[in-house]
Chains A and B, each alone.
Chain A
Amino acid sequence: MHNEVTVMDEHHHDNDATDVFGFWLYIMTDCILFGSLFATFLVLNYQGMLPSTLKSHINLRVVLLETFLLLASNFTYCLAMLDLYKQKIFRTQVWLGMTFLLGGSFVFIEVREFIQLAAEGFRWDLNGSASSFFTLVGTHGLHVSCGLLWILVMILQLPKLKGSHIANRRMTYLGLFWNFLDIVWIFVFTIVYLLGAM
Chain B
Amino acid sequence: MTDHSLHQPDYGTGQKKLGIYLLGFVACSILTLLAFWVVMADTLTHGQIFAVIYGSACLQFVIQLVCFLRLNTLTPQGRTNVMSFVFTLVILVTIIAGSLWIMRNMNYNMMH
A residues in contact (CB < 8 Å) with B = 9, 13, 16-17, 20-21, 24-25, 28, 31-32, 35-36, 38-40, 42-43, 47-49, 60, 63-64, 67-68, 71-72, 74-75, 78-79, 81-82, 85-87, 163, 165, 168, 172, 176, 179-180, 182-183, 186-187, 189-191, 194-195, 197-198
What size tier do the contact residues of chain B reach? 35 or more
Is A43 touching B11 in the complex (CB atoms < 8 A)?
no
- Check B107 against A48 for contact (C-beta < 8 Å): yes
Q: Which residues of B contact A (CB under 8 A)?
A: 1, 4-5, 8-9, 11-13, 16, 18, 21, 24-25, 28-29, 32-33, 35-36, 39-40, 46, 49, 53-54, 56-57, 60-61, 64-65, 68-69, 77, 80-81, 84-85, 87-88, 91-92, 95-96, 99-100, 103-104, 107
Q: Contact check, A68 vs B29: say whether CB atoms are below 8 A apart.
A: yes
Q: Are B9 and A165 in contact (CB under 8 A)?
A: yes
> Do the beta carbons of A168 and B8 come within 8 Å of each other?
yes
The 8 tightest CB contacts between A and B, nearest first, are: A39-B99, A190-B57, A20-B11, A35-B92, A28-B88, A78-B21, A75-B25, A39-B96
Total A-B contacts with CB atoms under 8 angstroms apart: 125
Q: Is the CB of A39 within 8 A of B46?
A: no
User: B107 contacts A47, CB within 8 Å?
Assistant: yes
Which single residue of chain A is at the shortest CB-CB distance from B46?
A198
Q: What DSSP secondary structure best describes chain A's contact surface?
A: helix
Q: How far is the CB of A196 from chain B (nearest CB, A)?
A: 10
**A182 touching B64 by the CB < 8 A rule?**
yes
For the complex formed, measure the closest distance between the CB of A18 and the CB atoms of chain B, giving whole angstroms: 9
Which listed residue (B11, B25, B69, B107) contacts A17, Cβ 8 A?
A: B11
Chain B residues near A74 (CB-CB < 8 A): 25, 68
CB distance from B16 to the nearest CB of A (A): 6
Contacts of B8 in A (CB 8 A): 85, 168
Contact check: which of B11, B28, B35, B104 meets A194 at CB < 8 Å?
B35
Q: Is the CB of A64 within 8 A of B100?
A: no
Cross-chain contact of A82 among B16, B35, B87 (Cβ < 8 A): B16
The answer on a CB contact under 8 Å between A183 and B28 is: no
Q: Which residues of A contact B77 (CB under 8 A)?
A: 17, 21
